[in-house]
Amino acid sequence: MLEKINAIKEEINAAVATNLQEVEELRIKYLSKKGSISQLMVDFRTVPAEMKRELGQKINELKNYATEKIASLKEGFATAADSDAEAIDLTRTATPYELGTRHPLSLVKNEMLRIFAGMGFTIAEGPEIEDDWHVFESLNFPPDHPARDMQDTFFISRDPKDILLRTHTSSVQTRVMEKTQPPIRIVCPGRVYRNEAISARAHCFFHQVEGLYIDKNVSFADLKQVLLGFARQMFGPETKIRLRPSYFPFTEPSAEMDISCDICGGKGCAFCKGTGWVEILGCGMVDPNVLDACGIDSKVYSGYAFGMGIERITNLKYKVKDLRMFSENDVRFLREFESAR
Ligand code: DAH
């Protein structure tokens, strides 16, 4: 029996395996119920009593030795198997893909365009790098006209200063009127640039939506009704509007529009500085000079235009006090608009 034990030990000592399957075969060969070590246990019953102690110990040692050897062989393959393609767990949930949120300015722009689309306006766009004609001259700002100082311009060309970053989306009016005869009913969203010091209330770039309607017999009453409809859809059905006389070179008469403060409902609060009104846009009847400059007969057609800042509307809708928040891309700020997506 002792010989048998020693022989098995030798065998196990020399055993090698090239894969998990072979390790399992070794386990079956030595340690399973019908394995050779279990067989020793059976033979052990017939061993004379005086030898039982010694042989019993040897068999136990052999069994422990075999168990350890097989475990260590198995370990070697376990790590290799993990990196195997077959070790990929297909039932695991996929790596989460983080969804972004729409930028508040896009949310508000989309809402504005949706409202105007409902009133028959289509979308027109133009370039951000513009020439003097489209931004100023065609819009009734003659050279050296003081109204050019209303907008601090970034010039791209120096001499002459005729290529520039558009200071307003009114330039798209000209581009469309030059190419299209009335009826024209468009809204023009886009980014504009002004050479201003950056602060909570001003930025060197911001966004506008321009509106233009040209047809026969268009009146100021039409303008007022469209703007009232817009204000009520944007800020709620109780919203009131008021128009104050103003000046823009491209409209005559010109006005600025206020809406009733939606924080205090018009009673007067810190937000509206006690007036009950907040300004949201500029507007007016298109100056006949502008129509003629763009090839539209001002004796036949008339029209209105309006322009507003998307940041301004967003400030009012979401109470964002600092303009800089819109361009810093702080995700804590952007995430606040998740539900509005
Ligand atoms: N372009 C003007 C601005 O940037 C806004 C504006 C005012 C546009 C009156 C208009 C308008 O079309 O009629 O300050």
Where does the pLDDT of residue 149 fall: very low under 50, low under 70, confident under 90, or very high at 90 and above? confident
Please state, for a pLDDT cut of 70, what percent of the chain lies above it. 97
| Most informative mutation of 139, 168, 203 for ligand 1 (most atoms within 8 A of CB) | 168
Gap from CA of 318 to ligand 1 centroid (Å): 23
Give the atom of ligand 1 at the shortest distance from the alpha carbon of 150: 14
Residue owning tokens 């006949």? 288
Strands 122-123 and 129-131: unpaired
Q: Does residue 340 register a pLDDT over 80?
A: no
pLDDT of residue 63 exceeding 70: yes
Is residue 236 within 8 A of residue 262, CB to CB? The reply is: yes
In which band, very low, low, confident or very high, does the pLDDT at 224 lie, cut at 50, 70 and 90? very high
Mean of per-residue pLDDT scores for the chain: 91
Predicted local distance difference test score (pLDDT) of residue 49:
86
pLDDT greater at residue 250 or residue 12: 250
Among 57-66, 86-95, 252-261, 321-330, name the one with the lowest average pLDDT: 86-95
Query: Which residue has its alpha carbon closest to ligand 1 atom 13?
Result: 283
Tens of pLDDT, residues 202-215:
999 999 999 999 99
Q: Assign 82 a pLDDT band (cuts: 50, 70, 90).
A: low
Burial (CB count within 10 angstroms: exposed 0-12, middle 13-18, buried 19+), residue 178: middle
Q: Is this prediction's pTM over 0.85?
A: no
The percentage of residues in the chain with a pLDDT greater than 90, rounded to a whole number, is 57
Tell me whether the omega of the peptide bond preceding residue 183 falls within 30 degrees of 0, making it cis: yes
Distance from residue 14's CA to the centre of ligand 1 (Å): 92
**Amino acid letter for position 89:** D
Whether 262 contacts 239, CB under 8 Å: yes
Distance between CA atoms of 167 and 191, rounded to whole angstroms? 9
Q: What is the pLDDT of residue 314?
A: 94
- For residue 250, the ligand 1 atom closest to its alpha carbon is 13
Confidence of residue 235 (pLDDT cuts 50, 70, 90): very high
pLDDT for 84 equals 59
CA of 153 to the centre of ligand 1 (A): 15
Taking residue 49's Cβ as centre, other Cβ atoms within 10 Å add up to: 6
Cis peptide before 104 (omega within 30 of 0): no
| Ligand 1 centroid to residue 237 C-alpha, Å | 25
Pocket of ligand 1 (CB under 6 A): 168, 170, 210, 248, 251, 282-284, 305-307
Residues 6 or more apart whose Cβ sits within 8 Å of residue 75 = none
> What is the CA(263)–ligand 1 centre distance, in A?
26
